[in-house]
Amino acid sequence: MQLRMGDTLLGSIIVEERDMPWWLGRFEAAPEFDSVRPLFDDWSRAVKAADDGAMDAAFNALRDLGLVIDRADGAPISRFFLYIDADRVRLRY
At 3-60, the pLDDT tens digits run 999 999 999 999 999 988 999 999 999 999 999 999 999 999 998 899 899 999 998 9
Per-residue model confidence (pLDDT) at position 42: 93
In 1-93 the beta strands, taken as DSSP E runs, fall at 2-5, 8-19, 22-29, 67-70, 76-77, 81-85, 88-92
| CA 52 – CA 57 distance, rounded (Å) | 9
* pLDDT for position 85: 87
Task: Please give the Cα distance from 55 to 12 (Å, whole number).
Answer: 24
Q: Is 91 left (phi over 0), alpha (psi -120 to 50) or beta?
A: beta
Tell me how crowded residue 40 is: count the other CB atoms within 10 A of its CB: 21
The pTM of the full predicted model, rounded to 2 decimals, is: 0.87
* Per-residue confidence (pLDDT) for residue 3, from 0 to 100: 96
- Give the tens place of pLDDT for each residue, 53-79: 999 999 899 999 999 999 988 789 999
Q: Which residues pair with 80 in a beta bridge?
A: none
Cα 11 versus chain centre, distance? 9
Which pLDDT does position 10 carry in this prediction? 97
